[in-house]
């Protein structure tokens, strides 16, 4: 079950949700050759928000990840991590609306997007 919070983002409404707990475990990324990954960094207000991703031109075919609380260098970090992405460009979606288009993924590499920086830049 999903519920929209006062910030307008979709949030998980169940207590047993994976997004409700901190995730200290390491993230293993499946990348190489023509397959890359994307880490989306957000602020704490997006915890539990479902972010969807689709290849450019394939808006109806989407995968999703929740923003989870992890730890980077001993500090809390709120991220959504997408791996196994074929090289190319992608669109990121929240609440069925496109937020960023033409996010470039390179095979064998990890791209990073700072959600707040990109929104302020008007991307």
The residue with greater pLDDT, 122 or 116, is 116
Query: What's the domain count of the chain?
Result: 1
Residue 41 near residue 78 (C-beta atoms within 8 A): yes
pTM of the model: 0.77
| 25-61 tens-digit pLDDT | 667 888 999 999 999 999 998 998 999 999 999 999 9
By residue range, what is the domain housing residue 81?
Answer: 2-120
pLDDT at position 22 is: 63
Listed residue (5, 61, 63, 38) closest to 115, CA to CA: 38
CA 33/CA 3 separation, integer angstroms:
39
pLDDT at position 30 is: 87
Helical residues (DSSP H) of the chain, grouped into ranges: 115-120
Average pLDDT of the residues in 68-92: 92
Residue 92 near residue 52 (C-beta atoms within 8 A): yes
Residue 100 near residue 123 (C-beta atoms within 8 A): yes
């Amino acid at each position: 079950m999903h519920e929209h919070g006062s910030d307008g983002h979709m949030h998980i409404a169940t207590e047993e949700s994976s997004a409700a707990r901190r995730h200290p475990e390491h993230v293993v990324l499946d990348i190489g050759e023509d397959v890359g990954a994307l880490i989306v960094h957000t602020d704490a207000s997006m915890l539990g928000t479902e972010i969807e991703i689709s290849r450019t031109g394939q808006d109806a075919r989407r995968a999703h990840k929740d923003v989870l609380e992890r730890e980077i260098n001993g500090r809390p970090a709120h991220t959504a991590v997408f791996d196994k992405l074929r090289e190319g460009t992608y669109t990121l979606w929240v609440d069925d609306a496109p937020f960023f288009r033409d996010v470039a993924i390179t095979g064998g590499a990890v791209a990073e997007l700072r959600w707040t920086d990109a929104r302020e830049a008007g991307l």
